[in-house]
Structure 1
């Protein structure tokens, strides 16, 4: 292959050149002026131009209509390697949602769920089964139950007063509410989770939460075209692995800090317990399923993200 005007016979160099080409092709940067002659030169021409023009032209409305009406009533075309079923009648919907609901309850095994949910350990992305049911019971009925959340009302009131006080001190000056509201939300979350927000870096938590939401919603082409997964053309998997390392470090610090304080206080400690204390205690007492450290980390990140959404949508009542 000719690379940058020089004929190259090294397989590794040729492979790197092709990977770089497709990486830039699928990236968000502009590639309208990309020179693809080097790639075209090594691809053997198998189709005549007149047939190629027929293959690449856009289909007209009649052709699309013909294909759609030739399909079975309960199916539709899907991406490579995936079949898609469409519930096009009440009876088919009942089969999906009631008769065979357990078979369709799990989410697809996307890269984001593998890397940033600690190998499918959180309740949002864990496959449906015994572990998911036990983890959901712990999070919903024990940790994030209404009684537990209401017990931190004084924390929300205190942080609300601090927010209004900060905004009042900036009266007459330009104010970017987004930063203040983000700090307000994270302060509440950290106090509910850790009691003492000083043990964590608020900016670091904010960055992690935003990256968590961003990468969970990112369209990773490798999830839909499996043979492209190892190439990581968009760079999303690399970012997911980097976020996983940051979350590992953060959660390890939080868990170790809580375990040390619990050991020092003893079993008769009557102090108010935060969400992490409750989670760790329930994980120790749970005999139905084995809770690893990664399971605890995944549930901590789920609680942070859930509370971030909850506090972000909660209206601030007037004092």
Structure 2
């Protein structure tokens, strides 16, 4: 028996995807570290960089040992540290925090699709690292007054059970027909999360739109900014209908710079990853929201985001920026041959 079994298709797939994500993050961290004004923020990002780098090398080693080609991912060609700051006022840590949130979700999914012990431990370690730095970023932003908390609520003093099916329809049985019941705290949590992540995404993509090289890419990012605005507006109005305050983060704005620190390829991939994260978040929000009108809104958001992501994929393919994941053997082609 070999000491280690060969890796499976799912293990190859998630390692390949992780390599793409981590090399992108490393390139972006190189720029943000170079431009950091705040020493504490710089240390957080430097520590993240040093913690992630060995795992990129471990993935390379697994590919080499299995006889698999090492993916291109993102290299020094995709970042230019010697350009003006594209973002200001703490955006770097806001962005890293959102990246860590995405990574936590990916690592949790990935660890459920691998079997070999060394790969399981790799994702286990990455999960622990990601959780630790997500907390570091959160505490930093709270300390600096840059992170809005979700709305506070009066604590419940009794246990209640749903008595009317109108609860699912989003109707209030104690008021006039058509009046919506108030949001529950689970629904508030997912709506607030949607606002928060879209605000950071809007700031990011606004900077991308300012500095993209190709006009089609610039237009794509501009369209994405409008999509984020529309989602933020819809979700905020849902809060306002119940008289719930809309917390908003301070800082994190794009500067006036139009000089790109990242390649169009990297910025397109980053936006694609954010779209996937957003669609996943909408799916979870739909599953745990008991008001039908919220589910309907999330379905529309998901459709719009999917169509936007599909448009981005076409741009990446046309420009030769979409690296193809490892494919299964083309059995039909072999048989015909």
TM-score (norm 1): 0.24
TM-score (norm 2): 0.23
Larger Rg over CA atoms: 1
